[in-house]
A and B are shown apart, each in its own frame.
Chain A
Amino acid sequence: MWKTYWKFIRALAVNRLGKIGVLLAALSFVIFLLLEAARIAGILRSARIGLMTYMALPALFIIGLLLIPLGWDLLRRRTGGTVLQLLNRKFDSSELEGGFFGSKLVLKAGFLTLVGLLFVIFAGARMLSFMDQPRFCGTACHSVMNPEWVTFQQSPHASIRCVDCHVGEGVDALVKSKLNGLWEILSVTLDLLERPIPTPIHQLRPARETCEKCHWPDKFYGTRLKTYTRYRTDEASTPSYTTLMLKIDTGKKGEKAGIHWHIGPTNQIRYSSVDDEREKIIRVEVLERSAVRKRFYNSELAGADGGLDNDMRVMDCVDCHNRATHIYEDPEQALDERISAERVGRNLPFIKREALRVLTNDYPDKEAAMAAVERQIKSFYRRYYPELAASEAANIETSIRTLQSIYGRNIHPEMNIEWGSYSNHINHDKNGGCFRCHNENMVSDDGEHISYECTSCHSFLAYGESDPLKYLMPVRTRDRESEMHRYLREEFLDGYAKYRARPRIRIHPNCLLFLRQRPCSIRRLT
């Protein structure tokens, strides 16, 4: 049995071309089986080997198969005989007996074709599913995708797949993404990429098709209490707190109000921006039930291109949540979060100042940076706090590891990604985010502004205070900021009274306690 197949295969390889074809097809088939077995056994995990297994080997297999008939064709031309003559020459006559469909030869060929076809289908399916794995996207084009891969893995969306947001469903999306992938392979190979990769990515799938799959737009979010801790650069790295009650969703009867008003069922916001970069906004339109209700122009950008209707972009999730996943941090914020999480030791004197300094220095490359972070922090404590350097050695070590991980996550010299290379629009840091539209320059024809009142999006319970719930306390008139305290306290309480009817309001239990027995003393959250 094996012998006849072996003979058959040898007979197929009629000349050098045929031999190469047979060799290619056979080898790639065998190697594929071995690699796939290794992968299933968990021995191999690398995306590059995967790339070879699922893309290179099936391709080589197909090329090999194609070479075999090409060899035959060449032979036929050289010898000038008919197909039958050639077959007779190469195969036993017993193989050719029994008519065309009844012959052993055709049966064998049919069987092998079936095996080949099954192999190609199987490999193709494995390829597609392999390419749907984040590991493939993240590591196949290592240097280019690495920053996104690193930030993705530390994001709230780390457990869903890249393709769930970036490719979408259906054959169309698949084909489109593969074609796009071809272009990307080309641009990586030929180094045609801009570094850092410019954002926004304009061909991203519409947020309505991606985000809303899980984040159902009718969901009522209510208000959300959030405390931001900021550490000063003094010796004790003294914390100060800003507590905001974010008015995310405050509408009633299914209407959207609050920050998510922007995506209300009857509202639509359209805008145009300079170079379509969504950073400098030229014009904003508010539509209600598809009719333009208000139109605002940026008075500082009068005359800029982008006033035409076909330049307008309809605002969706990613206009604010532009970095819901690939989150690059602000150095100070990153540090504050790690100190809060006790991954950087606040008991180390001047740790905030020193850590910020070493994180924001310029270094030639990542290795140098990692070494410098360690060296500088250690030498600071050795020099100025020698006793502490010894007694807190473990703490210093942990803090250094954390600082290195902050650096490693955010700074990617190979892609020219530094602090602040990518803006995050979820807040209004550095006058971006909300302030792109909500600023004094956005004026309608009748002189109306887009509101930029602080309290329209959030109430304050503390604003850089030592007590995270300070404004719930009664106002102390001798306090320099007493006027602000009074205003913010009343604003919060008024707002709360308004939202109180909603059952799903998210508010800290201390506030409820306070509202029940006001004025009262509140256990300080420190």
Chain B
Amino acid sequence: MKRFLVLLAVVFLSASQAASQQEGQCMVCHKLVSPGLYNQWHESQHAVHGVSCVDCHGAQQGEEDAFEHHGAFIATLVTPRDCGRCHTKEAREVQNSYHASAGEILHSQDAYLAHIAGGQPAAVAGCENCHGARIVIDPHSPNRLSKKSWPNSGIGRINPDGSKGSCSACHTRHNFTKSQARQPESCSKCHLGPDHPQKEIYEESKHGNTYYTNVKKMNLDADPWVVGKDYYAAPTCATCHMSATSVLKSSHDVGDRISWTLRPAVSVHKDNWLAKRENMFTVCQSCHGSSFAKGHYYQYDALVRLYNGKFAEPAAEIMKLIRAQKLLENPAEFGNKIEWTYYELWHHEGRRARHGAAMMGPDYTWWHGIYEVAQHFYFKFLPEARAFNDPKVNAAIEKLLKEDPMHQWLSRDTETLKKAIRSGDLQKQYDKLFQQD
């Protein structure tokens, strides 16, 4: 038995020795040939804790993306499964998150549009760089990654080992700090632009204002980083959506605190939304009183319902009718003008309005949001629908404009309307949108 233990120890020691020799070997060269990468690693917590090259890039011979490199088997790609060997909880949370499925957009309208109206290079360099590509092996160069799918650090990357996502989407190579992921700049690599300007909304919001004025006080390197305790100047994206509060643990499932889905044409509550809202509520209360937080949701919910009821649902109905009546000239989806108009209505301005309200960005709620929704609905979408001259479609539009009190203003004169606003009568019809859930 004793002999066996000694043997075991010898085997173990020599194995660890071999691995450490390889790492030493990597470091010698890469310190010279990729000094930026090396120095980032050198300042990282990984280096402090003795996690080096082979710990993450080491691979087994026979793995699809493992290639021989100076006597060691190496994989370029480090997947959440690799990271998860140490960061178990985080990897598990990521796999369950909405982020992890971001790479499956090939089935979505967005990717469809990029491929048909754009083309593959646009999809590769555009969509897939945020959403994540399906990583494939280069057929001409065994075990190396295809250049069409690498480099790619999209958050929903589909990896050859079956895992989804890329930790380096937020924890950028090669220092992988927590602090960078805690800063809004990390999220704003993707969350910006005409269809989901979270970055711009945050910058406009009071939250963003205070963050940028107080960024030095944010204690971003702290571990743990509990809002209200370790920092209190301002919240970042991570604060509300992921990080720890004195009540909640931090979570890598970004959807854990989100109650509405603002992504689709018509917003709906997410599964288990009450619990999720409760989570966010506790985050708000780290800094705000409960009536403040409730008031925010009161206003925000009403805006979402307004968008849904006044524009999104009727527009969806009309589009459905147009398709049912077979009025579209070109068979392919997005082959007709009205489809682009409708798409932008919900996918661009519609989302902007909702995101603006969710994150306290007034300009995005109104001018970049509902204002443009209304303009495009009344003066682009409806005229284009009417242009088909289809009796059923026209009847549906007439009915909507006549019977829905929210649209009746179109047939009334300014003076009456102003009077109704002053008296508060016009606002009353929206009372039903303001309700406390």
Contacts and interface: CB of A to CB of B under 8 A. Distances in A.
Contacts of A486: 20-21, 24
A483 B52 contact: yes
Contacts of B47: 480-481
Given A480-B42, A482-B50, A454 B32 contact: yes
A490 B21 contact: yes
B70 interface: yes
Contacts of B23: 483-484, 487
A484 B27 CA distance: 6
A195 to B, nearest CB: 33
A443 B320 CA distance: 60
B70 A453 contact: yes
Contacts of A480: 42, 47-48, 50
A463 interface: yes
A420 to B, nearest CB: 18
A455 B28 CA distance: 9
Interface in B21-59: 21, 23-25, 27-29, 31-32, 42, 47-48, 50, 52
Interface residues of A, number: 18
A19 interface: no
A396 interface: no
Interface string B172-210: 000000000000000000000000000000000000000
A481 B29 CA distance: 13
Nearest to B29: A454
Nearest to A299: B141
A490 B17 CA distance: 11
Interface string A464-496: 100000000000010011111111101000000
B24 A488 contact: yes
Given A480-B42, A480-B47, A485 B24 contact: yes
A464 B47 CA distance: 17
Contacts of B50: 477, 480, 482-483
Interface residues of B, number: 16
A271 interface: no
A486 B24 CA distance: 7
Contacts of B52: 483
A50 B412 CA distance: 108
Q: Most chain-B Cβ atoms within 10 A of its Cβ — which of A454, A455, A463, A488?
A: A454
A460 interface: yes
A427 to B, nearest CB: 11
Contacts of B28: 454-455, 460, 463, 484, 487-488
Q: Most chain-A Cβ atoms within 10 A of its Cβ — which of B23, B28, B70?
A: B28
Interface in A427-459: 452-455
Nearest to B20: A483
A487 B50 CA distance: 14
A464 B32 CA distance: 10
Contacts of B48: 480
Interface in B45-98: 47-48, 50, 52, 70
Nearest to A487: B24
Nearest to A482: B50
Nearest to A455: B28
A455 B25 CA distance: 9
A477 B24 CA distance: 13
Interface string A482-526: 111111101000000000000000000000000000000000000
A481 B27 contact: yes
Nearest to A464: B31
A477 B50 CA distance: 9
Nearest to B52: A483
A483 B27 contact: yes
A511 B31 CA distance: 25
A455 B23 CA distance: 14
Contacts of A490: 21
A482 B17 CA distance: 12
Interface of A: 452-455, 460, 463-464, 477, 480-488, 490
Given A453-B29, A454-B32, 8 more contacts: A454-B28, A463-B31, A464-B31, A482-B50, A483-B27, A483-B52, A486-B20, A487-B21
9 contacts: A455-B28, A477-B50, A481-B27, A481-B42, A484-B24, A484-B27, A487-B21, A487-B25, A490-B21
